[in-house]
Structures are given as C-alpha cells and as structure tokens.
Amino acid sequence: MAVSQSTAGLFLSALVFTILWVNIARRNRRHQHSHGLANLPSPEAKSWWKGNFDQALNPKAWDFHMRLLKEYAPVVRLDAFLGDKQLIVFDPKAMHHILVKDQAMYDKPKSTFSGGVLIFGKGLVTIQGEAHRKQRRALNPVFSIAHMRNMLPIFYDVVHKVSITLIHELRFPTHDLVSGIRNQLEDGLSSKFKDENAPQEIEILSWMSRTALELVGQAGLGYSFDDLADDSGAHPYTGILKQLVTTLGRMWFIRSYIVNFAVKIGSPSFRRWVLDRLPWKGGHRLRDMSDYMWELSKQIHEGKKRALAGGDEAVARQVGKGKDIMSILMRLNMEEGSQSQLDEDEVLGQMSSLIFAAMDTTSSALARVLHILSTRLDVQGKLRQEILEARKKCGDQDIPYDELVSLPYLDAVCRETLRLYPPVPYVFRVATQDMILPLSNPVTGIDGTSISEIHIPNKTAVTVSIINSNRNPVIWGPDALEWKPERWLSPLPDELIEAHIPGVYSHLMTFNAGSRSCIGFKFSQLEMNDSSIYLPNSTVYRPEK
C-alpha cells in the first residue's frame, strides 16, 4: 500500500505531540519532589523552554563550563527542557557514588541504549544490566597487558606509514628515521614538488583521524582501512564517523525525548518502513551511516571467521596476524564451556562500537598533542631527546613495550594532555530511584544554608563533568588550567591524593570510573604513546601563522 509523504508527516506529527505530552506530564509530577535541587545555585537560564541546555551542550560551550568551574561549587543545578531540574557534578565524593558505589542506581539515559542499539548494535557501550556485565567479562581478557604488548608492532607499522607520508608530503629530510622507514620511501609515494627548505603546512586533524582509524582497524579489527600513502586516500569510514558525531549532536531533542517511545512501536521492520517514508533528511542520513557500518562489520566478521576456520596459517596471512582484539575475542568466544560467550550480533556490535569509541577520541587526542608541541618547542625538544636516547639504547630499532611505557617525559606529556583536554568532556547518568548524594565538602544553598548532601529525585538527569574534575584548582592547585607536563614528574598535591578521584587512570576522570569505565584505556594509552614517539621525532612542528 502506498503512503504519501504528507500522510507520513501527519503520522510523525501526531507521534511527536503524544510523546511531548507524556514527557511534560512526567516532568510536572517530578517537579513536586525536586525542591531540594531548587536550593542549589544555578546560572541564569537563557531560554524558557530549553533552560540552560544550549549553554551547556552546544559545540562552543567551553566558556560556560569554565564559568561553572570558576564561579560555582562542584555541584550545580541546571534548568533543562520545560524547567526540568538537572545537575552538573564534579565533586569527588559525589562522582564516586554516582559512578562506583551506587552505579546501579545511576544508569546511562535510556535514549543512549535505545538509540545506540539502533546505530551500533548490541555492543558494550549500548547495553545494560546482566548483558553488559556478561560482555564486560568476555572483553576484559582481550585488553590484558600481554595482548597489548603483542599489538605494539601493529601500532608501529601504522605510525611508520603515516610518518613517511607526512615527511614525503612536506619534503623534510629523513635523517631521524630508522633505516627500515627510509627504505619504504621507495614504495611509490608521490606528491607534487615542494621546496625542501621552506616550512610546509599539513592538516593535522585530518591526518590524525586517518591514523586513528587505521590504528583501531589493524589492532582492533585486523583490517586495513587506509594505506596512508597520500592525502587523497581517506577511507569513507573516516568521513562517516565525523558526520555521525555532528548528526547525533543536531538530533539531541529527538534522541532525548522521542526515540525511547518510538522504538516501542511495532516491529523493527515496521519502524524501518516508516522511517524510509518520512520526509526526514537527518533520519535518512543516520540510517544510511548505520547501514554502512553494520554491513562493513559483517564483511570483516565473515572474513575473520573464514580465517579462523582455516587454521593458523590463514590467520597469519590476515592484517594483524591474529593478534588484533576481534581475533582474540572470537577465539575466546569459540572455547567450549565459556560463561561469557557472545552471540554473533553481540560480536558485530563490538566492532562498530570499538571503532566509534576509539577513532574519534584518539584522533582528537593525537591532534591536540601535536598542536601543543607546535606551540611549545622547548617541550618538543625535551621529548625528542628522550625518544632519541631510548632508541639509541635499542640499537635504533622500535622501542619495546616495557621501555616505551616507562619513558617519563613522554608519559607526562600524554597524561597532561589527557588531563587538560579529555576527548570526552562529560558523561550522563539518570537516577533510577530517589537517592541521597553526599558531597566531599558542603556547598552554600541559595537561602544561605549549608548543604552536605542532596536529595536526588527519581529520574533526575546528572551530568558528570570530566573536564572540570580534571581542571579543578581546589585539588590540582592554582596552576590547574596550565598545560604543565612537569607536574607528573614530582609528587602530586596532597589535596588531589586525599580527594580520592574515582577514575580508573591516574587521578583523572578522562577514562571514566566504575563498570562503565573505558575498557580499552590501556589500548588508547598505547596508541597515544606510540604515535607521540614517531611523529614529533620526524619533524619540527610549529603552529600555522
């Protein structure tokens, strides 16, 4: 039966109206129990119906969050849609309760699960409850130190390639490269002639996006997306992931207030049928990107299954030689009697989730490191000297794992970058029941009373500010807003140690905390360390004039 676009549009309008009415009714009921939140200090809302939402979550909201850090206590009330009361938190004790001690009562928003499964499938970042615990148990062994050590040669191969290409593009001398890299310059890389004696410009973020995708492709999936040979060979996946972040950001309202209800209507095939007929370009773009990622994951998965069935020789011929994350996971998953076996859809869900989680965050971190080094030639020189000395001890070969992770200045540069510029600046939670949230130190309410704990009504949204926790001068000291790698080479402030920050990594919240912490943070560290020892070592970087 044919359905016109006008009919489909009327259907969508009726659906949106119904869902909004239900949301408004629920929020009105919750307002009756949110008097405790009303006494918390809050910045003035700019919109009567969206509250502080645009101030807090738009792509240029950094000044707003800096204002919260400087002018407010580490727990701040925000007004959201139609006056709904929410919190932004970076108090250490409160974060510990939200993300660790009482984490079962502060879950990710339902829209994260319902929308995430539609886009990425049933991966670790999109599921909850026992299914999440099972997947976490299955994946924990995959990210062991032993496996990370085996992946290091894969990382080196990728970074060698991009180093060679950037040097060739810039026409810089290659005397700092190991002999094996010099030989690869004969592999047919081509670019237009440039003056070797003049500085050249490159688009670092673009190259770091391609590098990050290839790193997670080879070490994560055992698949090569990009030969990194020139500036015109980017894989379509790179652009899709960047577009996906932008598209999801523009659809905040639909993701927050519509998707949870829409996924309960009819079967998946019916919902797909409706989406295909709606005059909604954003939804169609999201559908097409999700389809592309899913089909490519299936293609990679089928190839790995054939290789595993073909034995060790077939696996050794694959990219990564069977040492990548998905090969390890699939082998473990094939073992009989495993209590954490994943079905095929769950394995496929890990692939899209892994690429999305690793690629965008890693590329921004790598680009940030190179940008900072370009403005700090003194740090660039110290780092280069440490790397050259370490390579000299290794006979001018790649630095082994144990030595790489023990380079103090490299570690300090990476830690400080992840502290001041966390790739994920905040995480979102929703209270699943009425809760009492204790604070490290009392805050002063609007009425002048001292508040040492907060009553959190059921379904209250809570934003944990990773970036403000990492920059909090109360615990990091008066120089908290400075990029200062030397802070990691001397004892950290007593206030920081005593604060008991719940993050899984070095007193930082960068990789989150609790059972939702980044399972691959060691993988991310290794990517960053590996890339940081070759790219700054090959050239001298300066900012664009």
Query: Residues 479-506: pLDDT tens digits?
Result: 999 999 999 999 999 999 999 999 999 9
Residues 6+ apart with CB under 8 A from 55: 43, 46, 61, 64
Where does residue 9 rank: exposed (0-12), middle (13-18), buried (19+ CB within 10 A)?
middle
pLDDT the model gives residue 35: 57
Which structural domain range is residue 487 located in?
Answer: 42-141+422-522
pLDDT the model gives residue 204: 81
Distance of alpha carbon 499 from alpha carbon 93, whole angstroms = 8
**56 located within any domain:** yes
Amino acid at position 475, single letter = I
Spans of the chain, pLDDT less than 70: 1-35, 169-200, 336-338, 534-545
**214 located within any domain:** no
Indicate the DSSP class of residue 434.
Answer: -
Distance of alpha carbon 533 from alpha carbon 162, whole angstroms = 13
Global pTM value: 0.87
The answer to whether the beta carbons of residues 364 and 517 sit under 8 Å apart is no
The answer to whether the beta carbons of residues 164 and 189 sit under 8 Å apart is yes
SS3 325: helix
pLDDT the model gives residue 176: 37
The answer to whether the beta carbons of residues 439 and 89 sit under 8 Å apart is no
**504 located within any domain:** yes
Indicate the annotated binding residues.
Answer: 518
Distance of alpha carbon 129 from alpha carbon 151, whole angstroms = 31
Angle at 171 between CA 165 and CA 238, to 5 degrees: 30
Indicate the DSSP class of residue 459.
Answer: T
What are the angstrom distances between the C-alpha of 363 and each of 367, 505, 510, 529, 533?
A: 6, 19, 15, 13, 16
**403 located within any domain:** no
**435 located within any domain:** yes
**67 located within any domain:** yes
Of 531, 482, 511, 505, nearest to 383 by C-alpha is 531
Check which CATH number belongs to the domain holding 491 and give it: 3.30.43.20
Domain count, the chain: 1
Where does residue 278 rank: exposed (0-12), middle (13-18), buried (19+ CB within 10 A)?
middle
pLDDT the model gives residue 60: 84
Indicate the annotated binding residues for heme.
Answer: 518
Size (the chain), residues? 545
pLDDT the model gives residue 26: 53
Distance of alpha carbon 352 from alpha carbon 302, whole angstroms = 15
pLDDT the model gives residue 192: 34
**516 located within any domain:** yes
pLDDT the model gives residue 542: 66
**108 located within any domain:** yes
